Amino acid sequence: MKTYLEISISAGEQQREMLIPTMLKVGCEGFQETDTSLLCYLTMDRWDHSKLQSLKHDLRALLRTISSNAEVVFREIQDQNWNEQWEKTIRPIEVSNRIVIKPSWAEYNNLNGKIVIQIDPKMSFGTGYHETTRLTLQLLEEYLQPGWAVLDVGTGTGVLAIAAIKLGASSAIGTDIDEWALENAKENVEANAVQGTVEIVDKPASEFPYSHFDLISANLTLNTNIEMLDDFRNVLRDGGMLLLSGLLRGDRGSMVNELGRKHFEIVGERFENEWVAIAAKKR
Ligand code: SAH
């Protein structure tokens, strides 16, 4: 029987989606969730004692940067079918009126002709289990017009770019600064059979032609959204739509201010828990 290292991290639901990619990078092979914690599993045979000590040290430091109040507990346990248990907790999720996101292993009984997007929670952010993704998908569903050219900045799993095509966009380009995300997004583009229309590229927004896109989605952070606002404005056509997410309610004032200064008109907003997403039009 194999021995596993169980790393238990006290983390709220919002932190978990951010923790999972990090934990995958340090070699975790399975996860399980409880009400209060994320449990991550590593095979022990792969680690000698000194490696294990340095892993523990690095992990604590890493986790402090993600979540200041995360507590980490390490425990050695005997083999159990943790992956199967964890997978059972990941179910299809209806993220907007028309869109459902499901993992490859779950069945979704599509009685109402929904758009079903297949995303396995893996190494990247963007599975539909986070408010910021759901809010952007809702805005996309509301504002995207058929035939539009879309740029998705910080594509993560590629979920927004894939959704854009399924909602009628004629083309979508997803970009990211994380190479795991780019790789994962490409896999998801294939899994959803949109290779012909979705392109995943490693290229900053500033390098696209002026006035090239009808819609830009950016589920980033307040600061990144503000920093990139000029670039977004340049590559967006007049009257084009900018969907901004990754914003806390407390960020709203600053974002609205900045949008006003850069001649964007706010046309819609969506809220869920402490998050807000904004749709703004280039004037
Ligand atoms: N679009 C997905 C993922 C959002 S998470 C969704 O809505 O769920 C944010 C993503 O943006 C991460 O994958 C991160 O690597 C990427 N990112 C962060 N800063 C970026 C930047 N300056 N340019 C491009 N991508 C960035």
Per the domain annotation, does 159 fall within a domain? yes
Q: How far is the CA of 151 from the centre of ligand 1 (A)?
A: 12
Tens digit of pLDDT for each residue in 109-151?
999 999 999 998 665 676 777 889 999 999 999 999 999 999 9
Query: What band does 48 get if pLDDT is binned at 50, 70 and 90?
Result: low
CB of residue 163 inside a 6 A radius of ligand 1: no
| Predicted pLDDT at 215 | 98
Best residue among 224, 244, 270, 275 to mutate for probing ligand 1's pocket (most ligand atoms within 8 Å of CB) is 224
Q: Which of 29-43, 115-129, 215-229 is predicted least confidently? A: 115-129
| Predicted pLDDT at 76 | 78
Question: Which regions of 55-167 does DSSP assign to beta strands (E)?
Answer: 72-78, 93-94, 99-102, 115-118, 149-153
CATH number (domain holding residue 65): 3.30.70.980
Give the integer Cα–Cα distance in Å for 101 and 140.
15
Q: Which domain holds residue 39?
A: 3-80
| Predicted pLDDT at 4 | 77
Contacts 24+ apart (CB under 8 A), 80-88: 80/4, 82/4, 82/30, 82/31, 82/32, 82/39, 82/41, 83/29, 83/30, 83/31, 85/32, 86/30, 86/31, 86/32, 86/33
| Predicted pLDDT at 67 | 66
Do residues 228 and 276 share a domain?
Answer: yes
Among residues 80, 110, 130, the one where a domain terminates is 80
71, containing H or E segment: none
Dig out the tokens for 134 from the structure: 């759901």
Q: How far is the CA of 5 from the centre of ligand 1 (A)?
A: 30
Looking at per-residue pLDDT, the higher value among 164 and 73 belongs to: 164
Q: Atom 14 of ligand 1 has which residue's CA nearest to it?
A: 154
Do residues 115 and 255 share a domain?
Answer: yes
Tens digit of pLDDT for each residue in 58-115?
778 777 777 667 788 888 776 655 556 666 667 899 999 999 999 888 889 999 999 9
How do beta strands 236-248 and 275-282 pair?
A: antiparallel
Q: How far is the CA of 270 from the centre of ligand 1 (A)?
A: 19
| Predicted pLDDT at 174 | 98
Do residues 32 and 75 share a domain?
Answer: yes
| Predicted pLDDT at 2 | 65
Per-chain mean pLDDT for the chain = 89
Q: Atom 15 of ligand 1 has which residue's CA nearest to it?
A: 178
CATH number (domain holding residue 274): 3.40.50.150
CB of residue 219 inside a 6 A radius of ligand 1: yes
User: How many structural domains comprise the chain?
Assistant: 2
- Mean per-residue pLDDT for 228-237? 98
| Predicted pLDDT at 47 | 55
Share of the chain above pLDDT 70, in %: 90
69, containing H or E segment: none
Do residues 158 and 266 share a domain?
Answer: yes
Return the sign of the alpha-carbon dihedral for residues 205, 211, 217, 219: positive
CB of residue 176 inside a 6 A radius of ligand 1: yes
Do residues 175 and 199 share a domain?
Answer: yes
pLDDT > 80? residue 270: yes
Per the domain annotation, does 85 fall within a domain? no
182, containing H or E segment: helix 179-191
Do residues 108 and 169 share a domain?
Answer: yes
- Mean per-residue pLDDT for 258-263? 98
Among residues 37, 54, 80, the one where a domain terminates is 80
* Chain center to CA of 269: 19
Give the integer Cα–Cα distance in Å for 132 and 248.
9
Do residues 110 and 62 share a domain?
Answer: no
Do residues 109 and 198 share a domain?
Answer: yes
Do residues 115 and 213 share a domain?
Answer: yes
Per the domain annotation, does 261 fall within a domain? yes
Of ligand 1's listed atoms, the one at least distance from the Cα of 228 is 22
Strand order in the sheet with 115-118: 93-94, 99-102, 115-118
Sorted by sequence, the CB contacts under 8 Å of residue 239 that are 6+ apart come out as: 281, 282, 283
N- to C-terminal Cα separation, the chain: 64
Q: How far is the CA of 113 from the centre of ligand 1 (A)?
A: 30
- Mean per-residue pLDDT for 251-270? 98
This prediction has a pTM of: 0.76
- Mean per-residue pLDDT for 37-41? 88
Do residues 232 and 98 share a domain?
Answer: yes
Among residues 51, 80, 109, the one where a domain terminates is 80
CB of residue 121 inside a 6 A radius of ligand 1: no
Q: Atom 7 of ligand 1 has which residue's CA nearest to it?
A: 133
Of ligand 1's listed atoms, the one at least distance from the Cα of 220 is 9
Residue 42 contacts residue 52 (beta carbons within 8 Å) = no
CB of residue 220 inside a 6 A radius of ligand 1: yes
Return the sign of the alpha-carbon dihedral for residues 6, 9, 12, 15: negative
CB of residue 129 inside a 6 A radius of ligand 1: no
